[in-house]
Amino acid sequence: MPPASPALAAEITEIAAGLGAAPATISPKYFYDAEGSVLFERITRLPEYYLTRTERAIMQAHGEEIGRQVGRGATVIELGAGNCEKARRLCALIEPGCFVAVDISADFLHQAVDGLRDAFPALDVRAVVADLLGELALPDDIPADRRLVFYPGSSIGNFDPPAALALLGRMRALLAADGALLIGVDLVKDVAVLEAAYDDAAGVTAAFNLNVLTHLNRLLGADFDLVQWRHRALFNREKSRIEMHLEAYADTLVTWPGGSRHFRRGERIHTENSYKYRIADFAHLLELAGFASCSCWTDPGHAFAVLLARP
Ligand code: AVI
């Protein structure tokens, strides 16, 4: 095997430490290889996965008011921009002067911003490759005034509250006094609805969760046998979060170069948390991060909320 790059070596060390921990964990960032990204797109169109379409409906229903509050000509900074699909709808609503797409995946990002430039030829479109967990530094020539940080999809829910607070603080640091944050947040609701959204009848979320093992087999040279593992998605009421796990059907030994772990039947690997908020609790988190005021819109069933927060 050729020697791993320092970045890959660090990932391998992180993954091996997670597999060795009690309970075992795999970071959700490893969901998103090429296959995982395709599966996630499919999840967003599932009947049980209400988040994406509900957020879209809120943005459509209240687009005029959001546009009025933000005003034309702002600089939109979308964090985790992905395929820039949501950006297109937002740009049509608020007509920004500049759009900055920030994402960790360079290849995907450059393709997506090219599409956005074609759709909005007059818009100044930039791409910034950055990890949201690191320092969020933008190039100096990006306008500093009237910035709108856009973080849709309830991705904030994939961070534990202290990490969510720290990320909101980094977003706040990107803004001058006239800036704002537009963020989508999934809300606490009936457990059956929540669990179905993360364990759909067609098995797409199960395939998404299991795919992380295929990714690890490739990345780490591990020998996970996927038929030995099942997808579990459970709402943890106390922590107000959906937890995704992979559970061993039988005693199984997993090995990789330099390590191994024996899993007992029923033992789980924790792969993701997706926190569900009450609006008041999320508004409090925003306040702690330095946002002084916010407007909030929700759907008639109060499944999801879109908040516009200002310093
Ligand atoms: C990306 N994120 C907001 C999704 C969520 O709902 O927490 C990831 C996901 N995991 C399983 N289904 C969707």
Query: Ligand 1 centroid vs 209 CA: distance in angstroms?
Result: 10
How many Å apart are CA 100 and CA 138, to the nearest integer?
9
Residue-wise pLDDT tens digits, 67-99:
999 999 999 999 987 778 889 999 999 999 999
Residue among 86, 198, 236 whose CB has most ligand 1 atoms within 8 A, to mutate: 198
Q: What share of the chain is helix, strand, coil (3-state, %, to 5)?
A: 40, 25, 35
Radius of gyration of the chain (CA): 20
Residue nearest to atom 3 of ligand 1 (CA): 155
Question: Could you tell me what percent of the chain has a pLDDT over 90?
Answer: 86
pLDDT band at 135; cut points 50, 70, 90: confident
Token pair for residue 216? 């690890």
Give the C-alpha distances (Å, rounded to integers) separating 220 from 9, 12, 173, 226, 243. Answer: 9, 6, 36, 15, 24
Per-residue pLDDT for 249 more than 80? yes
pLDDT of 182: 98
Closest of 194, 259, 157 to residue 50, by C-alpha: 194
Closest by CA to 304, choosing from 270, 272, 274, 267, is 274
Quote the DSSP letter at residue 226: G
Confidence bin at 109 (pLDDT 50/70/90): confident
The binding-site residues of ligand 1, defined as CB within 6 angstroms of any ligand atom, are: 43, 51, 153-155, 157-158, 198, 205, 272, 274
How much is the pTM? Answer: 0.95
| Mean pLDDT, all residues of the chain | 95
CA of residue 167 to ligand 1 center, whole Å = 17
> How far is it, in rounded angstroms, from Cα 37 to Cα 35?
5
Q: State the pLDDT at residue 132.
A: 85
**Residue type at 159 in one-letter notation:** F
259-281 burial, b if ≥16 CB within 10 A, otherwise e? eebebeeebbbbbbbbbbbebeb
- Using the mean position of ligand 1's atoms as its centre, give its distance from the Cα of residue 274 in Å: 7
Cβ-contact 60, 53 below 8 angstroms: no
